[in-house]
Amino acid sequence: MSDCIFCSIVARDIPSSTIYEDENILAFLDITQVTKGHTLVITKQHFRNLLEMDQAASATLFAKIPVIAKHLKDTLGATGVNLISNMEAAAGQTVFHTHIHLLPRFDEQDGLHIAFETKEPDFSALAQLADQLRLEKL
């Protein structure tokens, strides 16, 4: 896609700090480095985000994610890793080409703050919601 910054990275039209590449995916350091080793894993093929991908394409991407995450953790001496993929602007997506953020974690002051505002709906409300959301077949 001509006006996509990540397609330009795949095409080597703009530089990236690449750490892994194969025929389907590319992993490179995010220029903002929220935590040390903050890596983006992208598909070489342009998809807007995961919501646009079928099972085969997403399986190809996700097959490599645990290996790259473990490599980051082990190499940097991190104590954990967060995986984030923002889908659509409402979820914080700013680059509309599928990417997985891998964020090595070190301690509570490492720069990443994820806050879940928890609610406690009663069980019948949860059961009703599950009825609405149940998937018969994938």
Interaction between residue 96 and Zn ion (CB under 5 A): no
State both tokens at 113: 């703050």
- Other Cβ atoms closer than 10 A to 113: 8
Q: Is 46 a catalytic residue?
A: no
Binding Zn ion by CB under 5 A: which of 38, 97, 99, 105?
A: 97
Interacting partner of 7 out of ligand AMP, Zn ion, none (Cβ under 5 to 8 A depending on kind): Zn ion
Q: Which of 87, 103, 94 is nearest to 30 (CA)?
A: 103
Sheet with 39-43: strands ordered across: 18-21, 25-29, 39-43, 99-105, 80-84
Using the minimum distance from each CB to ligand AMP, give the nearer residue, 38 or 78: 38
Binding ligand AMP by CB under 6 A: which of 2, 55, 94, 124?
A: 94
Amino acid at 1: M
**Are the C-beta atoms of residues 86 and 51 closer than 8 Å to each other?**
no
Q: Which of residues 19-78 bind ligand AMP (CB under 6 A)?
A: 30-32, 40
Using the minimum distance from each CB to ligand AMP, give the nearer residue, 74 or 88: 88
CB of 15 to ligand AMP, least distance (A): 8
Output DSSP code: residue 100.
E
Catalytic residues: 99
